[in-house]
């Protein structure tokens, strides 16, 4: 009963999205969470699916500074794959268990607004095309769906402040949406057990870090973990009490984290003297304002009100 009304945002990706057994388990977990009284939002990307579709079209995928070079033609494929394939697949898997999931794009009702961002290579800015940073989140549509008992499934594309459409990082999108919703938890599913203490020397997983400890470690992390841990940093600095990185290769990883005493993966929480109580609030999280400014990359949270 202590989970009633709490909001959780889950970033879905990696092997959990491509392995049939894990996909089915994930969908069942989402429905279990919904029946347990949580307000669940799923944010997804689809990098492997986009790369595969571009390859079928004879288009080579190019990455600069960890960002996909996104021409207008590539953006058409990104949009088609995320909205027409991946989003529909996730919605269908959840709805095999009942009429719960509703597919959304970051473009819908201007849920996400983004501005163009360059890649940084050796300290220099490099244009990578239609890749964006989220600058505003309008969460009222997602709140309305949650209030009606639905599970929003959100594809990580955004409307541009210039009226265009941008490819945005799904980890970042999940973090910004968690802040806007006043979520209790952000969960990031990935393909590793969590954050390693001293990779590759050791495979010991850090079970918990404060936000300050994470910020000290960020410059030393492997490139693949930086977007995920940066998303956790954004969420916690934005007022989300807990952010988790979990191994999506483990069946029912989300349930193991939420409904067991020990949990799994790596938990990021506020600094000890500022930490919120570990228990999940019993009251429904109040709706966020109509428009919530997103965190600037590497910056500090804006004052938005209405958050824990």
Taking 90 as the threshold, does the pLDDT of residue 18 lie above it?
Answer: no
CA 18 to CA 249: how far, in whole Å? Answer: 10
pLDDT of residue 201: 61
Do residues 271 and 212 touch, judged by C-beta distance below 8 A?
yes
User: What are the φ/ψ torsions at residue 243 (nearest 5 degrees)?
Assistant: -130, 140
Q: Is the pLDDT of residue 71 over 50?
A: yes
pLDDT of 263 reads: 67
Q: At 63, is the pLDDT very low, low, confident or very high (cuts 50, 70, 90)? A: confident
On whether the CB atoms of residues 42 and 153 are closer than 8 A, the answer is yes
209 falls within a domain: yes
pTM given for the model: 0.83
111-140 tens-digit pLDDT:
999 999 998 887 889 899 999 999 999 999
pLDDT value of position 16: 79
**Which residue's structure tokens are 């290579």?**
121
pLDDT for 154 equals 98
Which of the four pLDDT bands, split at 50, 70 and 90, describes residue 216? confident
Please enumerate, as own/partner, the contacts of 271-274 that have beta carbons within 8 Å and a separation of 24 or more.
271/210, 271/211, 271/212, 272/210
Q: What is the DSSP string of 40-83?
A: EEEEE--HHHHHHHHHHTT----EETTEE-B-HHHHHHHHIIII
> What percentage of the chain reaches a pLDDT higher than 90?
56
Q: Residue 271: CB partners within 8 Å, gap ≥ 6? A: 210, 211, 212
Average pLDDT over residues 162-189: 95
Report the pLDDT averaged over residues 158-165.
94
Kindly report the CATH number assigned to the domain that includes residue 25.
3.40.1160.10
What mean pLDDT comes out for the span 207-219?
82
DSSP H helices, the chain, are 15-18, 20-35, 47-56, 72-79, 87-95, 140-147, 170-181, 211-217, 226-237, 253-258
* Banded pLDDT at 276 (limits 50, 70, 90): very low
- pLDDT digit string, tens, across residues 290-303: 454 554 444 433 33
pLDDT digits (tens, 9 = 90+) for 43-57: 999 988 999 999 999
| pLDDT band (50, 70, 90) for residue 281 | very low
The average confidence (pLDDT) of the chain is 84
Any domain includes 22? yes
Query: Considering only CA atoms, which of 197, 265, 203 is closest in space to residue 11?
Result: 265
Residue 42 falls inside a structural domain: yes
Residue 279 lies in a domain: no
Total domains in the fold of the chain: 1
Q: 227-263: per-residue pLDDT in tens?
A: 888 899 999 999 999 999 988 888 888 888 888 766 6
297 found inside a domain: no
Q: pLDDT-derived band of residue 283, with 50, 70 and 90 as boundaries?
A: very low
Q: Is the pLDDT of residue 287 over 80?
A: no
Range of the domain at 101: 7-52+70-106+137-155+168-269
């Amino acid at each position: 009963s202590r989970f009633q009304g709490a909001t959780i945002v889950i970033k879905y990706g990696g092997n959990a999205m491509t392995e049939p057994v894990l996909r089915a388990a994930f969908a069942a977990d989402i429905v279990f969470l919904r029946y347990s009284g949580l307000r669940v939002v799923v944010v997804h990307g689809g990098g492997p699916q986009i790369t595969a579709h571009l390859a079928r079209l004879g288009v080579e995928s190019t990455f600069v500074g960890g960002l996909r070079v996104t021409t207008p033609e590539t953006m058409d494929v990104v949009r088609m794959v995320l909205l027409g394939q991946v989003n529909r697949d996730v919605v269908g898997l959840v709805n095999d268990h009942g009429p719960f999931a509703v597919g959304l794009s970051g473009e819908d009702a201007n849920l996400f607004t983004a501005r163009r961002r360059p890649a940084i290579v050796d300290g220099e800015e490099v244009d990578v095309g239609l890749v964006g940073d989220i600058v505003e989140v309008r969460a009222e549509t997602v709140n309305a769906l949650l209030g009606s008992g639905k599970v929003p499934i959100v594809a990580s594309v955004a409307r541009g402040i210039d009226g265009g459409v941008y490819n945005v990082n799904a980890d970042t999108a999940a973090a910004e949406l968690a802040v806007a919703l006043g979520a209790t938890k952000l969960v990031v599913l990935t393909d590793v057990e969590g954050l390693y203490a001293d990779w590759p020397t050791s495979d010991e997983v850090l079970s918990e870090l404060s936000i300050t400890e994470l910020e000290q470690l960020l410059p030393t992390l492997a490139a693949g973990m930086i977007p995920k841990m940066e998303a956790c940093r954004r969420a916690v600095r934005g007022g989300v009490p807990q952010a988790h990185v979990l191994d999506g290769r483990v069946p029912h990883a989300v349930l193991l984290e939420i409904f067991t005493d020990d949990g799994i993966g790596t938990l990021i929480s506020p600094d000890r003297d500022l930490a919120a109580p570990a228990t999940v609030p019993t009251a429904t999280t109040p709706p966020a304002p109509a428009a919530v400014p997103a965190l600037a990359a590497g910056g500090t949270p804006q004052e938005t009100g209405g958050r824990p």
